[in-house]
Every structure is written in C-alpha cells, then in structure tokens.
Amino acid sequence: MISPAARPAPRPAAVRALPIRPRPAAGDTPATYIRRLARANHLRPAYLKRYLRDDATGQPSIDMLAALAARPASSLMHAFSQDAPARRRYLTGSRRQELFETIRRDAGTRHRSIRALADDYGLHRRVIRQALAAQAPRPRKPRGPSRPRPSRLDPCTAIIDAILDEDLRDPRRPARTNKQILNHLITEHNATGVSYAMVARYAGSQRSLRPRPRQPAAASPGAAVRPAPQAAWSPAHQAIEQHDLAQLRELLDAGSDAEDETQDGLTLLRHAIHREHTAHVERGGPHHAGMTVLLLARGADPHHLRDGTSIETEAEILGHWLAAEVIRAWKPAPR
C-alpha cells in the first residue's frame, strides 16, 4: 500500500505556506516579521529563524520567508524597505499650507478625483475637500499639556531618591546596587509591579544627576540595605530616622534648628514625611503625622523646594495624604 518511497521527505525542498499568516506591517524587519509569524503559528521564533537560515549567508532567506508567508518576495521587500508608508505624519503650519497648494495643483492639472487624491496623499477625503475649497488649513486642535505617563514606580521614586542621597552622604560605604534597592522596595515597602529594569532605569538617571565623588570602596558590596543611623546626620535627623517623636521634641526644645538641612537639601520636615510614610508602609497601620505637625508648629518651612518639588507634592506622591493636607492647611497661615 504505502511505499515509504512515495512519501515526501520529512523536510521538502520546496517551502509550503504556514497555516496562519499575519501580514507584514510597515516598519517590520525580517527579524520582527519572522517573530510574528512564529508566534502566530505557535512555533518558537528561534526555530523558524533556523529553518529560514540561508546556509550561504547566514541570514534568513527572503524567498523562503515569502513562501512561508504565501506572499510575493517583492511585497515583503517593500514592507521591509524604508519606502513603506510609515505612520502618517501630521504636517503643521506652512508645510500644511504647501501641501494644500500641491493638492489643488494636482486636482487642476492631473484631474484627479477627490478619492484618488485622498489615496495619493494618504489623507481623508474631508481634508482633500478642505484643500480644494481653498481653505486655509485649520489650526491643529489644541492638546492638553503633556504629562509624563504614570508608572508603577511612581510611589517608589522618593524612596529611591532617599537611598541614593544616603549613599551620596556616606561615600565610604559602597553604594547600593539596583538589585539591593529593588529588594529593599519589595521587602520594606511592599512595592508590587516593580521590576529590576524599572529601578535600574530610574536609579541610573538619578545617579547621573548626583555625581558621586570617586573614592575607593571600603566595604564589600553586600552591605545591609537599611543603613544604620548615619553618623553624619544631625541628632534631629537621627531622631526622625528612629521615628522618635519625644526625642525630636527634646532636641527642638533644646534649640535645634527646625530648618536643619542636610547637604542635599533634605529638611527635617521632608525627612519626617518620608519616615512617617515608611512606617505606614512597613506596619500597615494608618498614617501618622506627629513629627510633621510638630515640625510645622516649630516653624519648619512648608514651602521648601528640592529639585523643584515642594514638600506637599512629595507627600502627595508618597501617598502620605495626611501630611499633604496638614501642609496645605498650613500654607496660607502667616508665618
């Protein structure tokens, strides 16, 4: 019945089309298209890449890819080339005016229909009609002020800043690595949805803003994430770091400056808000604003800016809503 010879070889010389064939999109490269083809057909991309590899060049063979996709090789080449119509760009101002003039000229000399012009220019027929009606291009619709995309890292940025600042203050200790910072965020602040890459990108950008003086590293990099109370800190800052309201009050009573500021602009008030927030995150209880209120009562400046960020905003970002409300209520009061 079936002679084995009649059966085609396991890998036929001619490539057959894949069962599921997504189209190539503008801006695809052979690599991205192979990846999409493979994913659509539940194959591993590396597998398909190996299948398509041209032994002579080591590159994927476009002819085989075209056969797999059941499309002419020329159309694939076109999609992969730069000529493919990429995302339409919105021309503004005088360039749009010029475009309208070109369209009017085309309609007059080449007798193109509105539909054909719309196809030619990749514009909507409505826009072509506007151009033909000799209208000036409408000004572009105003867009709201651009706002940076929110990130899951947002609640953590202040903490990372604080860690980086701490590292900067004590150059003898080895700076904490991104991995250590990430672990700190996860274990100490219950951060979720934060990846190493997110931390690395943010911490990297922030480090570049804080040039670290080159000094030989003293200890091994495996140092504890949570720093011991810093010797360089003033007693008041230390009290805040220990979340010791009574100690802070004593120090202030004894004449400590409520505007005590570290080298990098961390005021007592800002430090207190961070510490209170950390306590809230760690213990899970409600927010307390004892130190914040005490410092405000003792004349700490709520309008202090660091890197252009007000203390109120920082409290808001951290989610320390109680502190933010107190500061907001405090602001109009005469000082």
User: In terms of CB distance, is 50 or 226 closer to other proteins?
Assistant: 50
Rounded to whole angstroms, what are the CA distances from 203 to 53, 193, 265, 271? Answer: 40, 16, 18, 19
Contacts with other proteins in 27-46 (CB under 8 A)?
A: 40-44
Select from 13-21, 72-80, 166-174, 208-216 the region that touches other proteins (CB under 8 A): 13-21
User: Binding of other proteins at residue 77 (CB under 8 A)?
Assistant: no
Size of the site for other proteins (CB under 8 A): 25
Q: Binding residue for other proteins (CB under 8 A) from 34, 66, 68, 296?
A: 68
Indicate whether 76 belongs to the interface with other proteins (CB under 8 A).
no
Q: Which C-beta is closer to other proteins: that of 41 or that of 247?
A: 41
Task: Give dist(CA 108, CA 131) in Å, integer.
Answer: 12
Cα separation, 294 vs 297, in Å, equals 5
What residues numbered 173-192 form the site for other proteins, per CB under 8 A? Answer: none
**Which position among 29, 31, 47, 119 is part of the footprint of other proteins (CB under 8 A)?**
47
Give the residue from 123, 43, 32, 46 showing the smallest Cα distance to 85. Answer: 123
- Per CB under 8 A, contacts with other proteins among 253-312 are none
Residue 15 engages other proteins in binding (rule: CB under 8 A):
yes
* CB of 232 vs other proteins, minimal distance in Å: 59
Q: Is 49 in the site for other proteins (CB under 8 A)?
A: no
Measure the CA–CA gap between 192 and 189, rounded to whole angstroms. 9
Distance, in Å, from the CA atom of 229 to the CA atom of 56, rounded to the nearest integer, reads: 64
- In this structure, are strands 305-306 and 309-310 parallel, antiparallel, or unpaired? antiparallel
Which residue in 7, 141, 143, 283 binds other proteins (CB under 8 A)? 7
**Is residue 69 a contact residue for other proteins (CB under 8 A)?**
no
Q: How far apart are the first and last CA of the chain?
A: 102
Q: What is the DSSP string of 281-311?
A: HHH-S----HHHHHHHHTT--TT-EETTEEH
The CB-of-42 to other proteins minimum distance in angstroms stands at 3
Judge whether 296 and 269 are in contact, CB under 8 Å.
Answer: yes
Give the C-alpha separation, 233 to 266, whole Å.
11
At closest approach, how far in Å is the CB of 74 from other proteins?
22
Q: Where on the chain is the footprint of other proteins (CB under 8 A)?
A: 1-2, 4, 7-8, 10-12, 14-20, 40-44, 47-48, 50-51, 68
